[in-house]
Amino acid sequence: MKGVGALAFITYKPNILFLDFINTLSTSYTIYLIIDDEKINWSNTLQSKYPNIIFVQILSKMCNNFGYKNLNFGGIQKHISGWDKAIFYFCKINKEVTSYDYIWFIEDDVFLYDSNTLLNIDKQYTGIDILLPNCVQEINYNEWLWPQISMEFEKPWYNSMCCVIRLTNKMLEAIKNYITNIKTMHFLEAFFPTIAQKYNLSIATPPELKTIVYRHNWEQKDINKMNLFHPIKNLYKQIEYRNNIK
């Protein structure tokens, strides 16, 4: 294990450009790649070239059996996605999880300059149970996807963007406790902030995550080394931006 933190990147299928980049982050964090695809054993294919990355593939039926499901159903209409597998892995499988101060969960269309971006945030926000991109606010129950949401909590329920989040073991324990009792999760943008609020856990929204938004056409002039940016789906564009930051 490298360092006291972990980065869990979430993807459907590995991309070589992406692997080349996250492999460079391994001196500061333990790097995990959570792969949703189940058709190919990607670890057998890629592990020898990327020994610093831990490749994680979990069968959907296993997540379903334990109630780790529906976390991204509102977003991509899949009962079990890479997000469900990522949370399942760190709640039920990974035995080193208690050694980590924090675990970052990051979607693969998030732009990150390097590990110093995250280390800087970690130093500023020690001991916070969940970091989120924007202020946690009560759901407007009549708008967007929120009429589809049902949680076993009394209202109010809360929401925030969740393309990038940082969790502590205390937060993971709260999630595990909920799933043990309810046998499911809910759309992540409501589930994570509501869990944090209902279990009286600490929440922060660093300014470095304010550039995690639903939609935006990010250009080179917008990019800096301190923030994370979403969405930038084109990995060639990510490389270009990373190489040209002043």
202-222 pLDDT, tens digit per residue, is 999 999 999 999 999 999 999
| 228: CATH | 3.90.550
Query: Per-residue pLDDT averaged across 114-129, rounded?
Result: 96
What is the rounded CA–CA span in Å between residue 88 and residue 172? 10
What burial class does residue 197 get, using C-beta atoms within 10 Å of its C-beta: 0-12 exposed, 13-18 middle, 19+ buried? middle
What is the rounded CA–CA span in Å between residue 220 and residue 240? 8
What burial class does residue 143 get, using C-beta atoms within 10 Å of its C-beta: 0-12 exposed, 13-18 middle, 19+ buried? exposed
Task: Please report the DSSP string for 81-121 in residue order.
Answer: -HHHHHHHIIIII-TTGGG-SEEEEEETT-B---HHHHHHH
- In the chain, how many H helices and how many E strands? 9, 9
Phi, psi of 142 (to 5 degrees): -105, 0
Condensed to tens digits (0 to 9), the pLDDT of residues 226-237 reads: 999 999 999 999
Q: Is the entire prediction scored with pTM above 0.85? A: yes
- For 58, the domain range is 5-244
What end-to-end distance do the CA atoms of the chain give, in Å? 32
Q: What's the total number of domains in the chain?
A: 1
- Tell me the pLDDT of the chain averaged across its residues: 94
Nearest to residue 10, comparing CAs of 77, 117, 103?
A: 103
* pLDDT at 1 (0 to 100): 41
